[in-house]
Structure 1
Amino acid sequence: MTKKIRINLKLLAAFNFFTDFRLYIPIAILYFAKVSGSFTLGMSVFTIIALAQTVFEVPTGILSDKFLHRKGSIQCGALASFIALACYAYAPSYTWLAGGAILEGLARSFYSGTKEALLYETLKENNQENEYHHYQGKVVAMFQFAAFGASVLGAGAVLYSYKLVMWLSVIPQLVCMIISLFFVEPKMHTKQINHNIWAHIRESLKQFKHNKRLRWLAIANTVNWSFAETSYQFQSAFVKLIVPEWALSLIRSLKSLASALGFWFAGKIINKFGYFKIFINSHIIALALNLTAVLLKNIFSPFLLVVNSVFFGVTSIAKDTLLQKEFTHRERATLGSFVSLAQSLGFACVALMIGYIADITNPAIALFIAFAAPKLIILPIYWRLLRKK
């Protein structure tokens, strides 16, 4: 392993850890609903994040590929994230939540595709791109380890006030701003810059038109992520029906730990079982666990949701690796941004729909739909794409 790989791997791991060290995540929907006055408006904060990310996705992807490059884009994302969380923490009204959501959408768009491109290009520069899924699993696991630690600490802080939890969550974003100063830009990226923006966009879109495999992978990822992210953000509203509020952070911490283990060992699991078995079996098992949890609606439900989180880590790395293999080098971050754009639009629609269903029925029914609906679409796609691989 070269010095550049070691530096970027360590920095990416640390950056991801502090990016997701957010104590408020387990009670986010509860805090947003409290400030805004309803579950629908509370979920609309997530929708605004997604819509803002949609608006900024392609421009920031182009900036990453052509002007700011990987390091500069990560720095801009860290700054936007810091200001966004400060807005959430201060928020005396829904307007401040909405402003923070727009900035968080901007931050996510700067990160989208850029960190993956930084890692992939760093490895490719040293002829180790075939190990991407192994290193990416380790780096992304830091998100979940951070969420685990933040949830444990948040369980204590939430006993005092939601505001305390929110302000404590701002500090790690400042740490991210400092870490972002030390990334090493891959030389192979900066050597191939072409500043014709419209030609760059056309070439990126052509990849989806001519690469059928890329197109179907993007569709499957969009559908899956839209519902998965919605159910993840909304689960606290369901679990609150079963356990006391102080236990929400502890349950979320266990989910994060389970996901972290899935990410950490994803590379080895992918090498052993292959993509087809991982996608088909994990989605079927996850669906069974999730629906059982919702139907039981008792003390065992949160633990079934925790067990299911192991599959999330493995399948996430598998999906990302397949996409990176289909992306062209010159448009890598922009192609990733187009996929994220579709995911953000999908999430924006699904989040509002699930929030509305919860308001007119109850959180259990809304979560059941969020778990079951996407499998009808993505399982046939993965079966068709991967069964011969």
Structure 2
Amino acid sequence: MSADHTVNHNVRLLSWFNFFGDFRLYGPIMVIYFAQVTGSYTAAASLLAVKMLSSAAFEVPAGVLSDRLGRRGTMIAGAVVMVAAHLGYAGAPGYGLLLAAVVLEGLATALWSGNNESLLYDTLLEAGREEEFPRHSGRVNSMFQLALALAAPLGGVIAGLWSLRAVVVLSVLPQVLCLLVALRVREPRVRGPLAPNALAHLGSALRGIRGNPVLRRMTLVSALRYSGESAAQLSPAFVAGLWPLWALGLWRTFGHGVAFAGFRVSGWVIGRVGAARTLLFAELFDHVANFVALIKPTVFSPVLLGSPLYGMSATAQQTLLQREFTDRERATMGSLASLLGSVLYALVALGAGLLADRWGIVVALLGIQAVVLIALPLAWWQARSGLGG
């Protein structure tokens, strides 16, 4: 198979993989299902915390595994583990099996985290078409948002007609399809000579980040932006004060739809103004929109809240990172960035919870925005330097 044919083959499969991977009918009711099985919302919340912690714990080892053993094998391993996790969710009689399942999901998430973007970039690099990364990345990742937009309302309908467990059982099928898709992916071969062992490989990746000022800056931008996603936990409480409860599902679907559109056009935008300028503009627009929504709440505030230009900024960020990652440590460097993001996410989420208890939901959301705002001058510095533009 020619390199160009491999590009078309892998891009198409990655798109379907992302769609099936996030087509989780239980998304809006996961906490409710956990509470129903365990009999406690405290237990349910602890399961969500364990899932995040397990993903963070496995992040760097998974990146090293991807770099040393290959993208396709790591992708398949993650799909197998994710199927096992969903079977655990579907059949769990109590807390114990749910706990094992969330740990497995954390492992699967880590296996895919640095690996799948690296698979896409390496596939393009092998064909000498790496400059097309923004266009293909935007289209591939738009499928996440399409899946979320379709699955959320459908899951609610199924839960109303049958049961919460029926929703979770049906969610196993898309994960099986993910595995079947992963088995058809072709392995790109562009990595350089490997370090003698895993620790040496990790040390080389750390030195690569430390010695590259652009990569240091972009790694911090990535982590700060990810920490801002903790606002998704609190935003529904803000929206519920402005819109009726029945409209919250529509609000989520609207947000995913806007993100889908942003991903689809991101390659076109980046091709004309550059990745660094796209990131700067998207970050600036999102901050202004959020501050307007929060400082003077109106019935239109939920439309502005969140990240209206998330698709464009996420694609621009990945483009800038992938250009700086080294070929042989690409996934490990991506996993290190994700690990830093997970740590900041946990700290910001905890701080926002404390602010919400003491001063209310608006202050908590403004606090999150203040932390993420640190990324703005870093993005401006990147755009001003002309690097990655």
What CA distance in whole angstroms lies between the structure 1 residues aligned with 2:242 and 2:89?
27
User: Which residue number corresponds to residue 206 of structure 1?
Assistant: 207
Aligned to 1:265: 265
In the TM superposition, what is the alpha-carbon distance from 1:116 to its structure 2 partner? Answer: 1.1
Distance in 2 separating the partners of 1:310 and 1:174 = 32
Tell me which residue corresponds to 2:367: 369
Q: Greater shift after overlay, 315-324 or 103-112?
A: 103-112
**Contact 1:36–1:94, Cα closer than 8 Å, also in 2:** no
Aligned to 1:84: 85
In structure 2, the partner of 1:142 is: 143
Query: 1:332 and 1:362 mapped to 2: Cα distance?
Result: 41
Select 1:169's aligned residue among 151, 168, 171: 171
Q: Compared with structure 1, are the counterparts of its residues 46 and 216 closer, same or farther at alpha carbon in structure 2 (3 Å cutoff)?
A: farther
Q: How does 1:183-198 map to 2 (within 5 A)?
A: 183-189=185-191, 192-198=193-199
Query: Would the aligned equivalents of 2:286 and 2:308 in 1 still touch at CA under 8 Å?
Result: no
The change in CA–CA distance for 1:41 and 1:231 in structure 2 (over 3 A counts) is farther
Q: How many residues align?
A: 382
Corresponding residue for 1:56? 58
1:34-88, CA deviations, whole angstroms, 9 ceiling, x for partnerless residues?
A: 75745x7655544322321221112111111112x11111111112222323444
The SS at the match of 2:224 is helix
Cα pair 1:293 1:304 within 8 Å, conserved? yes
1:221-370 alignment to 2 at 5 Å? 221-228=222-229, 230-305=230-305, 309-359=307-357, 362-370=360-368
The 1:43/1:357 distance shift into structure 2, 3 A limit, reads farther
Match of 1:180 in 2: 182
Asked if the contact 1:155–1:246 (Cα under 8 Å) also holds between the matched residues in 2, the reply is no
CA change 1:195–1:14 in 2 (3 A) is farther
- Structure 1: gaps of 5 or more residues: none
Contact kept, 8 Å, 2:146 with 2:257, in 1: the verdict is yes
Match of 1:380 in 2: 377
When structure 1 is superposed on structure 2, of 318-327 and 281-290 the one drifting more is 281-290
- Kindly provide the CA deviation profile for residues 294-331 of structure 1, in whole angstroms up to 9, marking residues without a partner as x: 445554232223xx544100000000010001101011
- CA–CA separation in structure 2 for the residues paired with 1:361 and 1:159: 36
AA matched with 2:337: V
Mapped pair 1:132 → 2:136: no
User: Cα distance, 1:206 vs. partner?
Assistant: 0.8
- The verdict on how the C-alpha distance between 1:76 and 1:234 changes in structure 2, with shifts beyond 3 A counting, is farther
Distance in 2 (alpha carbons) for counterparts of 1:83 and 1:102: 11
Shift, 1:99, TM fit: 3.1
Residues 50 and 144 of structure 1: CA distance in aligned 2, closer, same or farther (over 3 Å): same
Question: Structure 1 148/218 Cα, relative in aligned 2: closer, same or farther at 3 Å?
Answer: same
Work out the CA distance in 2 between the residues paired with 1:297 and 1:321.
35
Q: How much does 1:95 deviate?
A: 4.9
How far the C-alpha of 1:129 sits from its partner, in A, is: 0.6
Pick 1 or 2: higher relative contact order, CA cutoff 8 A, min separation 6. Answer: 1
Say if 1:297 and 1:31 are closer, same or farther in 2 by CA, change over 3 A: farther
5+ residue gaps in structure 2? Answer: none
The one of 65, 68, 75 aligned to 2:67:
65
Displacement of 1:22: 1.4
> What's the Cα RMSD here?
2.6
The amino acid of 1:112's aligned partner reads S
Residues 122-177 of structure 1, C-alpha deviations (whole Å, 9 max, x = no match): 11111101111111111111111111111231242343444333333222111111
Do the aligned residues in 2 keep the contact of 1:66 with 1:195 (CA within 8 Å)? no
Is the Cα–Cα contact under 8 Å of residues 352 and 365 in structure 2 kept in the other structure?
Answer: yes
**Secondary structure at 1:292 match in 2:** helix
Could you tell me the percent identity over the aligned residues? 37
